[in-house]
Structure 1
């Protein structure tokens, strides 16, 4: 019996050692020599608003296969990330695999690399720390149709961002005035400054709406439907809240002459909102336009507040209130302290 136990312990030790011998290939993307940067002032509007710059709010580190052998890694946050693990799920392999480690990736940085298994190790660990051999892909690579990616990390910034995984938002920056018509309410050209600011606004909006703090407050709020009188039930408010989380698309532009424009997939806010959100609540405008996006008109207090017993009620009211809670508790991921070009404000 003692021999069996000793043998078992020895085997465990050997397995443990073999696993610790498998080290992830590590990268650092932080200099002009090994990265390019998105949303810079010399970038033309066609590229600023191109499909290549579409991303999911839950995937601020977007990993995209270019072909069977190379991937693009892009940071859509306006702050640096450190100590990230990129995981991949490959068709036919059930458990996600730890693919590579990133020591640091600068704000809005983009870099293209070869898959680590094409010119390095073929041994990896999955997220259960079990060995996976990818040598079968060394020559053929992996079809872009057969692979997806995610990222993980630990620390304060990841704690602040974790609720973004609840959101289905896909974000695109959009030129709503391609003909530069001065008679409408859209900026004639989106600028790189607009987009840089917007990347932070969308993150901070997302964490507010995805938070349990906001959800609890919204479900308790007095909400009136599109007829201006019918008070919505708890079940109806739960449906609204789920529609907010599941909104599939935000086409983001900058409005002029008015503070905001919204409806369908259109989300526009004025320069003062893009300038101010990092230091003060902007719920009156942002929630109003998102209220339109999820189907509510000006009769409903999902847009403009309604007064009940001399107190404002509605979507924008509760949004403003919870935004202030986030400021008071330092819960926002994007701040003047970590935003990479604070002169934008």
Structure 2
């Protein structure tokens, strides 16, 4: 097991009280495995990813029963030990490439610094590695690109540079936080195919945070669905798409546009919004938006096992089939 996270909690201090951003989240990732985390904005996906690399804001407090990387206890690591791990064996691709890159340094300087810091390599070795990876991510004239600044590159090229930077030290696990959100659809598809190919070539484990359920169905080995800071369903990808068990999971799948859907009919959607997480909520977090909610849903609900690797946080699990079309 490469990464093991058990009962992760993240609380953020706000003027209105403590915000329970992540609550008792657990997951595992093996070498070469792809875990996808899905859910609406504000459900705790990105902050979960940031917590793995120790990049939380100062007002955030992280606790977990266990958080290990290849057997190493990440919670007991010093800042120096975490810096040695981050960018080397564990790396991240951020959402927005313009903020992930330093506008004051050239692309070559930023790529080389990563490699030299972790590999104690010479400038020449770092430059050769940077050129090699820029070519690997599909950037032409790689040697010339090293002398350019981020603002001189298009959004697609900047994201390719960020991907190359994450791969500089051949990490064992890469965390990709919606890596193509800021790009147009054509570039998105191209970069995602590239990322998948690179993962196979380098043999990395990957945690992919995305809203694209179509992509998830094609590349994920396992999927966890997050809602309002909690995991509401976790399953192998094939089983999640064929046997979704939580009403929220079914609502997400029901909201995916279907080419056969009548043109003049409004697209399916999930009514309402993700609730505020200031102070912990009792009962089902999806209660106010779920068409199947009842009084029993107001009580604390734990993840229930459906099959060996399939869990869902719903009182109806194991008590009859939840109807497939939750959202009309």
Q: TM-score, normalised by structure 2?
A: 0.26
Q: TM-score, normalised by structure 1?
A: 0.25
RCO higher in structure (CA 8 A, sep ≥6) = 2
Structure 1 or 2, whichever has the larger Rg, is: 1
